[in-house]
């Protein structure tokens, strides 16, 4: 949500911001409706003021006939008040949905670009492994090592559904647990378990609606939505609250199942674990003071936690600064991490083997405004919080680089050191 006052004063900022994100918005129409709304409010309030004054006079009149006469005179004024209030409501109702569509303008550090192809690689970590044998894809490994079952998944739930099996399911739990433990025990994040079935207000408040409605599963009988990320629960946790500055920053982490319809991706990444309707994700959220520098600091720090996890898993990755056309409606800035997945590499582009595994977003006030999430400063002023979120790890997608990078010539897969404590210290998944 955008500050209507700021929009009023700097319409160009928001027009430009929307243009950079490749979105069409009706700024002029909103400003026009806003003017109507303010005028209606002024009319209504001055009429109401008069009505309140008269009513107080009536209350004082003791003599019945005089009272009756005074009340009779009020009819017209009451009608005018009602009409003015109606105009105010209509103007407001017309403006709100349009205002919800205005995107957060991209921050200055976001490179210009129309889509993901113009994202910028910031840096890389780790060297992609050179195989002395023909490496298998995670799908082939999954089959030969009996780690996953896509056929059964499709029978039960349709395309993009799967079963994880045996060590496949164990690794899935292990990597989530590693991520969760790192964040809670080492990074000082508060563990939360969040609702994944939520009301519309939570989806709108976190900025997923109206834009992402078609990506979301809807449970009609109860008018609830299945969340595509724990970001919704973590960020909306303090919805409608005024926190104290002294309790900020709030640092939360949760593992949740994530549901995504993946509408409009037909034919894209249809095979394997890369793009699925349901997965589990360990997500980190920070709610901090209304301070751009602090937000930027947290953004880098949260990104660093995800990098640390990948480094512990010894998986090569690269960090991407997403361009204006790829950061979405709600973000001021977004950095992705792409992890090396050998099977995705094709000859035409050697770098194509990097697949997105993480996404770190900085939203400033955008979500906080929609959520009415504020804090009282030490100066007693009330301000909107800033919010940020980032993947710690999402599985089973992360199983792709794990299985593919750790495979051996004999068809077995070595279990990364960091995961062994979570699988009974098993070292290898061997061919049966």
- Choose which of 10, 36, 51, 278 interacts with RNA (CB under 7 A): 51
Is 29 considered catalytic here? no
Peptide bond into 249 cis (omega under 30): yes
Tell me whether residue 67 or residue 296 sits nearer to RNA (CB atom). Answer: 67
Q: For 365, what's the count of Cα atoms within 13 Å in the CB-facing half-sphere? A: 15
Stretch that binds RNA, among 37-45, 246-254, 261-269, 394-402 (CB under 7 A): 37-45
Peptide bond into 210 cis (omega under 30): yes
Are 182 and 284 spatial neighbours (Cβ–Cβ below 8 Å)?
Answer: no
- For position 432 contacting RNA by CB under 7 A, the verdict is no
CB of 366 to RNA, least distance (A): 16
Question: 27-60 and 64-101 helices cross at what angle (nearest 10)?
Answer: 160
Q: How many residues bind RNA (CB under 7 A)?
A: 32
According to DSSP, the residues that pair with 382 across neighbouring strands are 376
Q: 3-state class of 211 per DSSP?
A: coil
Contacts of 200 (CB under 8 A, 6+ apart): 209, 223, 225
Is 275 considered catalytic here? yes
- For position 52 contacting RNA by CB under 7 A, the verdict is yes
Stretch that binds RNA, among 59-67, 299-307, 308-316, 359-367 (CB under 7 A): 59-67
Cα 249 to its chain centre, rounded Å, is 18
- For position 89 contacting RNA by CB under 7 A, the verdict is yes
- For position 94 contacting RNA by CB under 7 A, the verdict is no
- Choose which of 120, 191, 382, 409 interacts with RNA (CB under 7 A): 382
Tell me whether residue 194 or residue 335 sits nearer to RNA (CB atom). Answer: 194
Region of 111 please: left (phi>0), alpha (psi -120 to 50) or beta: beta
- Choose which of 19, 32, 45, 269 interacts with RNA (CB under 7 A): 45
Is 359 considered catalytic here? yes
Return the structure tokens found at 393.
């790890």
Q: Give, as one character, the DSSP assignment of residue 69.
A: H
- Choose which of 31, 78, 98, 239 interacts with RNA (CB under 7 A): 78
- Choose which of 36, 55, 80, 408 interacts with RNA (CB under 7 A): 55
- Choose which of 42, 265, 270, 352 interacts with RNA (CB under 7 A): 42
Return the structure tokens found at 430.
């061997």
Name the catalytic one among 318, 356, 412, 420: 356
Return the structure tokens found at 283.
């997500």
Tell me whether residue 46 or residue 352 sits nearer to RNA (CB atom). Answer: 46
- For position 62 contacting RNA by CB under 7 A, the verdict is no
Which residue spans within 249-406 are E strands per DSSP? 250-259, 278-288, 317-321, 333-340, 354-362, 374-376, 382-384, 386-395
List active site positions: 260, 275, 356, 359, 397
Interface residues with RNA (CB under 7 A) are: 4-5, 38, 41-42, 44-46, 48-49, 51-56, 58-60, 67, 71, 74-75, 77-78, 81-82, 89, 242, 376, 380, 382
């Amino acid at each position: 949500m955008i500050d209507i006052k700021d929009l009023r004063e700097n319409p160009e900022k928001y027009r430009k911001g929307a243009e950079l994100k490749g979105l069409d918005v009706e700024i002029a129409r909103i400003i026009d409706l806003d003017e109507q709304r303010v005028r209606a409010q002024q009319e209504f309030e001055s009429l109401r003021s008069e009505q309140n004054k008269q009513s107080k006079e009536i209350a004082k009149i003791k003599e019945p006939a005089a009272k009756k006469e005074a009340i009779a005179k009020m009819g017209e004024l009451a009608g005018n008040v009602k009409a003015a209030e109606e105009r105010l409501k209509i103007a407001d109702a017309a403006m709100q949905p349009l205002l919800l569509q205005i995107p957060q303008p991209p921050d200055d550090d976001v490179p210009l670009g129309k889509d993901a192809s113009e994202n910028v690689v910031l840096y890389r970590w780790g060297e992609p492994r050179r195989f002395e044998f023909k490496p298998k894809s995670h799908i082939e490994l999954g089959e030969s090592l009996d780690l996953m079952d896509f056929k059964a998944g499709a029978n039960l739930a349709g395309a993009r559904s799967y079963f994880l099996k045996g060590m496949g399911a164990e690794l899935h739990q292990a990597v989530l647990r590693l991520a969760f433990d790192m964040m809670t025990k080492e990074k000082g994040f508060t563990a939360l378990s969040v609702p994944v079935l939520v009301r519309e207000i939570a989806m709108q408040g976190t900025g997923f609606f109206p834009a992402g409605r078609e990506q979301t599963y809807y449970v009609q009988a109860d008018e609830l939505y299945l969340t595509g990320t724990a970001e919704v629960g973590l960020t909306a946790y303090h919805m409608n609250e005024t926190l104290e500055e002294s309790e900020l920053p709030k640092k939360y982490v949760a593992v949740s199942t994530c549901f995504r319809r993946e509408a409009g991706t037909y034919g894209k990444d249809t095979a394997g674990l890369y793009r699925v309707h349901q997965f589990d994700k360990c997500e980190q959220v920070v709610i901090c003071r209304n301070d751009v520098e602090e937000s930027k600091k947290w953004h880098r720090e949260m990104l660093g936690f995800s990098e640390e996890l990948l480094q512990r898993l010894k998986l090569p990755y690269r960090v991407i600064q997403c361009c204006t056309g790829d950061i979405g409606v709600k973000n001021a800035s977004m950095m992705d991490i792409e992890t090396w997945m050998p099977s995705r590499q094709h000859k035409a582009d050697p770098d194509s083997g990097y697949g997105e595994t993480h996404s770190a977003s900085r939203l400033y006030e955008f979500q906080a405004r929609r959520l009415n999430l504020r804090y009282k400063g030490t100066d007693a002023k009330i301000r909107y919080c800033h919010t940020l979120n980032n993947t710690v790890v999402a599985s089973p997608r992360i199983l792709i680089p794990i299985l593919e990078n750790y495979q051996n010539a004999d068809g077995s897969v070595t279990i990364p050191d960091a995961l062994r404590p979570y699988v009974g210290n098993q070292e290898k998944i061997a061919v049966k």
